[in-house]
Amino acid sequence: MNNNKSTIIGWILIFAVMVGFIWMNNPSEEQRAEYERAQAVRDSIALVEAQKELDKSLAEARYNQTLLQDSTSVLHLAAQGEEQTFTLENELLKLTFSNRGARVTSAVLKEYTNQEGLPLELFNADDESINFMLDGKNENIITEKLYFQPVTYTDSTLVLRMIASNGGYLDFSYRLLPESYMLNFSIQAHDMQNFFPSSMKTINVDWAQRVRQQEKGYTFEQRYTTLTYHTEKDTEHLNEMKAQTEELAGLEWIAFKDQFFSSIFIADQQFKSANIKSSPINEGSGYLKNMEAETTVFFDPSGEKASQFQFYFGPNQYQTLKESSKLSTSGKNLHLDKLIYFGWPIVRWVNRFFVVYLFDWLNSWGINMGIVLLLLTLIVKAIVFPFTYKQYVSTAKMRSLKPYIDKINAKYPNPEDALQKQQETMQLYSKYGVSPMSGCLPTLIQMPVWMALFFFIPNAIELRGQKFLWANDLSAYDDLLHWNFNLPLLGDHISLFCLLFSIVNIVNTLYTMNQQPAGGDPQQQKMMKWMMLLMPVIFIFALNNYSAGLNYYYFISTLTSILIMLVLRKTVDEKQLLVQLEANYAKQQQQPKKKSNMMARIEAMQKQLEEQQRLQQQQQKK
């Protein structure tokens, strides 16, 4: 391997991983084409859905009309009434309920605001629906079409009752927990054994929501908006970029998640079966995705045991989700914190066991989020500095051997002698105990930490709405420069922090390339240099829609790397390194070479074989 490849390979690996991840998380040309081709299909589907809604309304009218006209129906009383609304409220959350269907119709998060500065409404009755369907012997209960009567109503509790004509009833009980985003919910039948068949063991639940666009950038928020679900083993999600449907079983919770907020439906007894679906909604509509979940869950028609559920309507904040998981009515840890995707396994561990706690500690100081990110960057740089120093010294040792490398280059000036030149160069490195690959390992060790922030910052709700310098919101792109038309790959703006990051990246690349040890094929060096310079340009297009906080972090991180390299350049004496290498080589020459255990065993076997051959030859002579 050429002597100038060690650090270059390390940087190429880092850039390749990041570019690869960005490429995977950005829609490909094929996906964009598919998205555009599907536009007409989605419009057609919208017409079909509109027709379905009309048919549904007509069917609902017929259902209610039938129940109203049939005085012998057990559901005759529940089919008539007027809609009423009720409110449960605590310090964090305000929920509105309707007696028609006994469902939540609105969720307002008090501590957060939307882009207009108003209290953030996660959804309203037009965005969200939930319907419970129970099969009876002669007729079925469809809760969204029936009226429930309030039985208990306080600031934190609400019991809505569907009264049957036979004296039985069905209770929907809600309790909003104090200082929490958790809503406990149960369904229990009373004196309705004769209504249900004895074989009935489940309720069918249809839950759907149009997920609102809450943030500034549609494309960036869309990338982090997913229908997520959790089993006993793991947490998974549907594709972020295209429509997808899955049929599953044994789910503990289902989440309609956008970048920073979620509606989570939790079943104590698990969702026995679930047909889940997610599909993107066109930009400009004010929505991101349609999400649906058709499920079946435990139900006891005798009424001895209630069907227990919970809802979480709140922020995707790691510590909040983690604390909310402990409020499970089933006693199990719900692992709601896994809703936040923190990257691949090693990177995820770095985030969950280090970055989250470091970030929370810095945030507790009450300082500006831009300063928090600056301190976070400096602390991370300090932690990985020993690896950075080792990498630099390794490269400096190879540079210190430049006089010898120059002699080898002069000895093999012709291209056809490249192999001999490389072999002699490697022999030189071996002679002085210098490994070209030693600079790669420190770089690879730093990669999980470097990549961890790529996953963490876009998920940090603490950055939402936080101003710093010219950026009005560190969780969205800082479009200081924008225009009224779309440029290919760039859009209608350019993020200034993204531009600054790319500029300092070019400076860092040029400086790094100039610090590489001499030697190697000039054409190969030139190609690598252009590759390294091309990557910062790619970042302008790849990261332009990413959050200002992430680009700011990379800008500060790269700028700090340049400063560290300049300091090391001043403090590490390469002439002294060469003297040390020469002294180490002379010392090794004076010492007897120690043989490894393996070599000693091989030599012993060779001597034993030689002795056997000698004895055989003597016997043949006799």
Question: Could you tell me the CA-to-CA distances from 127 to 104, 123, 197, 305, 466 in Å, in that order?
Answer: 11, 6, 34, 32, 28
Q: Angle at which helices 440-459 and 6-25 pack, to 10 degrees?
A: 30
For residues 86-98, average pLDDT: 97
Instruction: Provide the residue type at 213 as one letter.
Output: Q
How confident is the model over 230-265, as pLDDT tens digits?
998 899 999 988 999 999 999 999 999 999 999 999
How confident is the model over 265-277, as pLDDT tens digits?
999 999 999 999 9
Closest CA to 321 of 306, 340, 304: 340
Bigger pLDDT: 316 vs 586: 316
Bigger pLDDT: 63 vs 585: 585
For residues 296-312, average pLDDT: 95
For residues 490-513, average pLDDT: 86
Bigger pLDDT: 529 vs 546: 546
Residues 602, 606, 611, 612, CA torsion sign: positive
Q: Which of 291-295, 349-353, 516-520 has the lowest mean pLDDT?
A: 516-520
**Sequential DSSP letters for 156-218:** SEEEEEEE-TTS-EEEEEEEEPTTSSEEEEEEEEES-TTTS-TT--EEEEEEEEEEE--SS-H
For residues 82-90, average pLDDT: 96
Q: Count Cβ neighbours within 10 Å for each residue of 149-186 and write b for 16 or more, e otherwise.
A: beeeeeeeebbbbbbbeeebbbbbbbbbbeebbbbbbb
Q: Which of 129-138, 148-157, 214-223, 569-578 has the lowest mean pLDDT?
A: 569-578
pLDDT above 70: residue 520: no
pLDDT above 80: residue 345: yes
pLDDT of 621 reads 63
How confident is the model over 16-26, as pLDDT tens digits?
555 555 555 55
pLDDT of 508 reads 83
Q: Using an 8 Å Cβ cutoff, are 209 and 127 in contact?
A: yes
pLDDT above 60: residue 8: no
% of residues, the chain, pLDDT over 90: 51
pLDDT of 421 reads 75
pLDDT of 3 reads 38
pLDDT above 50: residue 596: no
pLDDT above 60: residue 432: yes
Strand partners, 133: 142, 204
Bigger pLDDT: 118 vs 393: 118
For residues 200-206, average pLDDT: 95
pLDDT of 6 reads 45
pLDDT of 593 reads 55
pLDDT of 231 reads 93
Q: Which of 112-126, 272-286, 414-428, 551-565 has the lowest mean pLDDT?
A: 414-428
pLDDT of 2 reads 41
pLDDT of 128 reads 95
**Residue 239, exposed/middle/buried by CB under 10 A (0-12, 13-18, 19+)?**
middle
pLDDT above 90: residue 172: yes
% of residues, the chain, pLDDT over 70: 79
Closest CA to 312 of 259, 268, 256, 356: 256
pLDDT of 391 reads 81
pLDDT of 34 reads 54
How confident is the model over 96-114, as pLDDT tens digits?
999 999 999 999 999 999 9
Mean pLDDT of the chain: 83
pLDDT above 80: residue 46: no
pLDDT above 70: residue 343: yes
At 574, is the pLDDT very low, low, confident or very high (cuts 50, 70, 90)? confident
Q: Using an 8 Å Cβ cutoff, are 98 and 83 in contact?
A: yes
At 187, is the pLDDT very low, low, confident or very high (cuts 50, 70, 90)? very high
For residues 58-70, average pLDDT: 53
Look up the pTM and report it. Answer: 0.81
* Alpha carbon of residue 458 to chain centroid: 8
